[in-house]
Structure 1
């Protein structure tokens, strides 16, 4: 699958939709690239949001590749960045629930129960708009 072009500048909605599709296809690295494109081209006040989401996707990529310590570190960083948003729900995302899910994946890694497919599904489930 080709990489995301350097000049890709998705809207927030495009980035989220594309990231969801890529995660559903088991391609967290490519989801990371889409979210990173939004982080680099979006408004400065949303940098932590997009960077945190991108870091979570890189963490999922590390699980797929067997780098569990790298996965835990990036999932933890991503979760912390989302925590800066408190209870706000940008783009109707429940960031608190997403951060809790990332922390649960990190716990599974620490306990030796990390499974890439389950981790991707868990994060994807929380990357949907809240009601």
Structure 2
């Protein structure tokens, strides 16, 4: 079998969506980790949904409260990709905060703290450019404070953390 034949065989065996794009159909746990085929996972977030900003915040908060930050990150990612260009930094930063929590909950201290800090910087950058602390009712100063405090605690030995117990409140 040539390398091309092997590649074709791998491509045919991959999970695909209705448009033929590669999509891993394995179930996932609440932190987004793939589980074996046939295992019971948590419901996945549909990709590519366009929500209003307030719907995005409400859906992401519900997922964070359930201890599912990976899935909240996907909701924020949809807003980042479909929202107006002037809000992309905000939604990207929020997605990074959620995936940072995902990583520290999985025990990845280094990657998690980097993402928490990167997300906080993005949110602060967006906020500084707008002078707006509470877009869509969110408490941006509180979120950046939460991210810094969590990153500091994790760096000093408290990883992994409980994603549900550490979930931020997006709105005061």
Q: Give TM-score, length-normalised by structure 1.
A: 0.88
Unaligned stretches of 5+ residues in structure 2: 1-41
> Which residue is equivalent to 2:11?
none
- Bigger relative contact order, structure 1 or 2 (CA pairs below 8 A, ≥6 apart): 1
> Which residue is equivalent to 1:3?
44
Q: Specify the SS of the correspondent of 2:168.
A: helix
* 1:57-68 superposed matches below 5 A: 57-68=98-109
> Which residue is equivalent to 1:44?
85
Q: Specify the SS of the correspondent of 1:116.
A: coil
1:122 Cα deviation from its structure 2 partner:
4.6
1:27-67 CA-to-partner distances (Å, cap 9, x unmatched) read 00000000100110011100011000000000011012111
CA–CA separation in structure 1 for the residues paired with 2:80 and 2:164: 21
Query: Does residue 124 of structure 1 match 2:162?
Result: no
The structure where helix makes up a greater share of residues is 1
CA–CA separation in structure 1 for the residues paired with 2:157 and 2:119: 21
CA–CA separation in structure 2 for the residues paired with 1:66 and 1:122: 14
Q: Give TM-score, length-normalised by structure 2.
A: 0.68
> Which residue is equivalent to 1:90?
135
How many residues are paired up?
Answer: 127
Query: Does residue 104 of structure 1 match 2:145?
Result: no
1:101 Cα deviation from its structure 2 partner:
1.1
1:115 Cα deviation from its structure 2 partner:
5.1
RMSD: 1.6
